Chains A and B, each alone.
Chain A
Amino acid sequence: MLLAVLFTNIEGNILVERFHGVPAEERLHWRSFLVKLGADNLRRAKSEELFVATHKSVYIVYTMLGDVSIFIVGKDEYDELTLSEVMCTIISSVKDVCGRTPTERLFLDKYGKICLCLDEIVWKGMLENTDKTRIRNLTRLKPPTDI
């Protein structure tokens, strides 16, 4: 299960958050835990460099994409390798939507489309699509070209 996908700005403010199967009362804890993890490790990070951590039985893969930090939390079959696959998909789709590595402004500008992409990539805690072209098509309700 993909427990959470979180986008924050450099200051750690939430831009997008998606939780799946995480009780509402635990979300705040996760949110602050992830933001702290980013603050501790992403300051000097290169864009798109993947970081990985484990916390109890869950895995966390996180990165910096331009001005935006992205965190993905998973457990069971969504281990560090699968999460890195999900992360690569998210990175390529966000870049695809924004046309380049996003600044926070650009990210907010394309907010709606990014939400749609995310909806195609992760649905209720499961990875659904991984190809950015297909995802782009799906967000426009166009059939994928690879069929």
Chain B
Amino acid sequence: MAQPFVKKDDDHDEEEEYSPFHGIEKGAVLQEARVFHDPQLDARKCSQVITKLLYLLNQGETFTKVEATGVFFAVTKLFQSKDTVLRRMVYLMIKELSPSADEVIIVTSSLMKDMNSKTDMYRANAIRVLCRITDSTLLAQIERYLKQAIVDKNPVVSSAALVSAVHLLQTNPEIVKRWSNEVQEAVQSRAALVQFHALALLHQIRQNDRLAVTKLVTSLTKGSVRSPLAQCLLMRYTSQVIRESNANTQGERPFFDYLESSLRHKAEMVVFEAARAITELSGVTSRELTPAITVLQLFLSSSKPVLRFAAIRTLNKVANTHPLAVTNCNIDMESLISDQNRSIATLAITTLLKTGNESSVDRLMKQITNFMSDIADEFKIVVVEAIRSLCLKFPLKYRSLMNFLSNILREEGGFDYKKAIVDSIVILIRDIPEAKEIGLFHLCEFIEDCEFTYLSAQILHFLGNEGPKTSDPSRYIRYIYNRVILENATVRACAVSTLAKFGAMVDSLKPRIFVLLRRCLFDSDDEVRDRATLYLNTLGSDPSAETDQEVKEFLFGPLDVPLVNLETSLRNYVASEVPFDFVSVPKEIKSQPLAEKKAPGKKPAGLGAAPTAPTSAVDGYEKLLSSIPEFASFGKLFKSSAPVELTEAETEYSVNVVKHIFDSHVVFQYNCTNTITEQLLEMVTVFVDASEAEEFSEVATKPLRSLPYDLPGQTFVAFEKPEGVPAMGKFSNLLKFVVKEVDPATGEAEEEGVEDEYQLEDLEIVAADYMLKVGVSNFKNAWESLDPENERIDEYGLGVKESLTETVKAVIDILGMQPCEVSLLPNDALHLTTEKNQPCSTSSQGTDVVPSNSRSHTCLLSGIFLGNVKVLVRVSFGIDGSKQVAMKLAVRSEDLEISEKIHEIVSEG
């Protein structure tokens, strides 16, 4: 709770006495509220008590139901007073108290009286209070008055009714929609705010009717809107209409003249809105952009910080797609680097980094260095990310940019900031080969004095992968072994693994590494000792001999299963005589349930692949199928699909199907639910017509004996298909059963039943059913490890598409593969927790996400195809002004035939 005043100067005692709310207490104020019941009301005293009640409410104080009711009833007594200030307070108090439905009745008649009062101000306030506390029954009673109020000649009354209607539209849309004519009339009002409120309401009423919105915009853009606020709204609605019409028509852009002429409006707000609308037009040309950029440039030197912020924010976005169009503003933006508002300065810097050319990089870096020292971490992160993009754009400048990153890495900063810098250096090392050695050296320096376990582990892992490939791997050993001596157990364990990697990859270093590893056998931590023992024993007893390739693969190769699946399998594994079988771990990444995705704080920062996934379903399917003798001989289950609904929601029988794929069989598992209480179904089967699936022949059916009400059950149908062939086809389904009436009183079914059937939706086996969604932790490495001989590249014209986002999604769906991210995280650091468990701006993003306004995009996909063949896909999209989309598809896999098959699938899809 707030202290009601601040100690500012020496006369502190005097102030304390003066503070009107000093020592305020809820109980005492409630007592004071008894003055509301006085027969002779003291309006001034009552106003003071209401002020105290408001203060309490604003301080977060809550009233119990009894207290609130007491205050509410007392306040209604104040309607007797004719004092206007008190009446105004009463209106506010009733709104703040939000009386419950059974209490509202007490005050309704007083408010209805005020609503029809000759005093305009009573009318306006009564409308607002009534609309706040009303329900649909009461609304129907007062509808007539509200319609009148909307077109009232007093703008205060009219606005009160319109704003109330905006809120009522959420709860009683049918009633409010009947007021369209009145609202339409109010749009033409001469009062600016009435126009603004009426336009907002009219648009909300019509928002689902595209034609009506177009008509509204067409009529209003001709110039009857005077209010600047309403103009801004209109501009937004116009942009929406342009966006929607663009999708359907080609050629001249409608309403562009209106937007352009608004750039000359006298209100800055309108000018800015017009400029922003123009910059956000899809496929905007340089000619269209020029006038908008010019006004934004003027705003950059405005004395108002809000205008400067708005302008630089818009230019920052434009710089993503049209950097050249923004270069004219560079000088103005440079002067904003010293802006007192740090948000503005950060936006200016990041925009300059996007628009600058190679020759200006050094000068810019000098300015940024001074700037970095006095901004907060969250701004610094934005700058670091911008510098990373700049470096990727101008790889020749890597030296100065890498130096800058290493300098800021040494300065003070929180975890997120440091992580952003480390991630950037890692990305630069990966993408700019010349930057590798200098980058690794900076990272080594950093871990010498790094307070974050997570980052040390990440860097050690990265060092283990990249260090042995450099010209002089031995120079890194000192830094790594220092970790074994100086750090905590987690980092020590990581350092041992890194040392072992050097030993395995660089034969000349192996004997010396063995000496260091032997010292680790005496470490105080189990994990460190275990790792050292493992490496010493597997890397070969003879330190001078070359390390076997298989051993390297075993120790340092990719895990090939999502860690979360491994965790679940291990949890399910009951210690017994049988050793744990790694092959039994499911490889597929299940999509996350929506609710879990939305939960805040659950996002693992920067994880490459492997979102958390419930894998129990996969395990469950495997157990279920192997327990059915008919299917026991089908071999190992390759994949189970997500359930596909075969009935509409809320039908008598609810059926969905799961497709289980084996090497030479397919099993359909029909999950059935009977939703009729008076029925019992018996001998439930699905008759499957496979005439449109020529390569499949039915081999077994397992009926469901009994399906009582609301107790789900399964029936199965199995098909044989050519071994290892991804056969496709369409199946029509008919549910067949014997139905028996159930007596609702006793719950017993009749003895005699009737045969019946129920048509289900068709079902398809598609290419994606033969693909397991398996992510890779480092796409680049995985791609390079596959034989380039097995690569197939082709280009496709996809015709006119709505957007790149949709196209990317469609291709991913056809292939059924896992979109990969640009991973920065080591596998063996996955078990470490981040220092701060909060959503931070992660530097890796799924390649399935297309940035808005992007005109080209590359998506990386990985998966395992039927027959356990690893497949990687690199697919690039480009879209031109006329929305023609072109696609380049590069596929690598362990089998050339499969690479070709993927192209076949895409060309057929």
Contacts and interface: CB of A to CB of B under 8 A. Distances in A.
Are A and B a genuine interacting pair, yes or no?
yes
Interface of A: 8-11, 13-17, 40-41, 49-54, 61, 67, 77, 79-85, 103-105, 108-109, 111-112, 115-116, 119, 123-124, 126-130, 134, 138-144, 147
Interface of B: 1-6, 8, 15, 18-21, 47-48, 50-51, 54-55, 58-60, 84-85, 87-89, 92, 95, 119-122, 124-125, 128, 132, 153-156, 159-160, 163, 166-167, 193, 197, 200, 229, 232-233, 236, 268-269, 272-273, 304-307, 309-310, 313, 341-344, 376
A103 B4 CA distance: 12
B5 A108 contact: yes
B277 to A, nearest CB: 12
B620 to A, nearest CB: 35
Given A41-B342, A111-B54, A112-B54, 6 more contacts: A11-B6, A15-B2, A15-B58, A81-B268, A124-B163, A141-B122
12 contacts: A15-B2, A105-B5, A105-B15, A109-B20, A111-B51, A111-B55, A116-B88, A123-B128, A129-B159, A139-B85, A144-B156, A147-B153
A10 B233 contact: no
Contact of A129 (B20, B88, B193): B193
Contact of B3 (A11, A41, A50, A130): A11
Given A112-B50, A141-B122, A14 B154 contact: no
A129 B159 CA distance: 9
Nearest to A84: B306
A83 to B, nearest CB: 8
Nearest to A61: B306
Given A50-B304, A84-B304, A108 B20 contact: yes
Contact of A54 (B85, B269, B313): B313
A9 B2 contact: yes
Contacts of B4: 108
Contacts of A119: 92, 95
Contacts of A124: 132, 163, 167
10 smallest CB-CB distances across A and B, nearest first, come from: A13-B2, A112-B51, A141-B84, A84-B306, A141-B121, A52-B309, A16-B58, A81-B269, A115-B54, A53-B343
B155 A142 contact: no
A52 B340 CA distance: 11
Nearest to A46: B340
Contacts of A142: 84, 121
Contacts of A115: 51, 54, 58, 92
Contacts of A129: 159, 193
Nearest to B7: A11
B221 to A, nearest CB: 18
Contacts of A49: 305
A136 to B, nearest CB: 12
B163 A123 contact: yes
B154 A143 contact: yes
A80 B309 contact: yes
Given A15-B58, A105-B5, A82 B51 contact: no
B417 to A, nearest CB: 15
A52 B5 contact: no
Contacts of B343: 51-54
Contacts, number: 149
A104 B84 contact: no
B3 A13 contact: yes
B88 A140 contact: yes
Contacts of B307: 81
Contact of A138 (B47, B121, B153, B309): B121
A128 B306 CA distance: 21
B122 to A, nearest CB: 7
Contacts of B47: 112
B121 A143 contact: yes
A49 B155 CA distance: 32
- Which of A85, A103, A111, A141 has the most chain B CB atoms inside 10 A of its CB? A141
Contacts of A138: 121, 124, 156
A51 B84 contact: no
Contacts of B122: 141
A19 B163 CA distance: 17
Contacts of B153: 147
Contacts of A130: 193
Contacts of A15: 2, 58
B121 A111 contact: no
B87 to A, nearest CB: 6
A56 B166 CA distance: 25
Contacts of B84: 140-142
A77 B203 CA distance: 13
A111 B167 CA distance: 27
A77 B234 CA distance: 11
Contact of A51 (B15, B50, B55, B305): B305
Contact of A67 (B8, B21, B269): B8
- Which of A51, A81, A116, A123 has the most chain B CB atoms inside 10 A of its CB? A81
A105 B342 CA distance: 31
Contacts of A61: 306
Contacts of B50: 112
A139 B1 CA distance: 28
Contacts of B128: 123
B266 to A, nearest CB: 15
Nearest to B50: A112
Nearest to A87: B306
A18 to B, nearest CB: 8
A85 B774 CA distance: 52
Contacts of A144: 155-156
Contacts of A8: 2
A67 B269 CA distance: 29
A107 to B, nearest CB: 10
Nearest to A55: B378
A50 B1 CA distance: 27
A127 B124 CA distance: 15
B305 A112 contact: no
B30 to A, nearest CB: 17
Given A50-B305, A105-B15, A147-B154, A14 B58 contact: yes
A77 B92 contact: no
Nearest to B22: A108
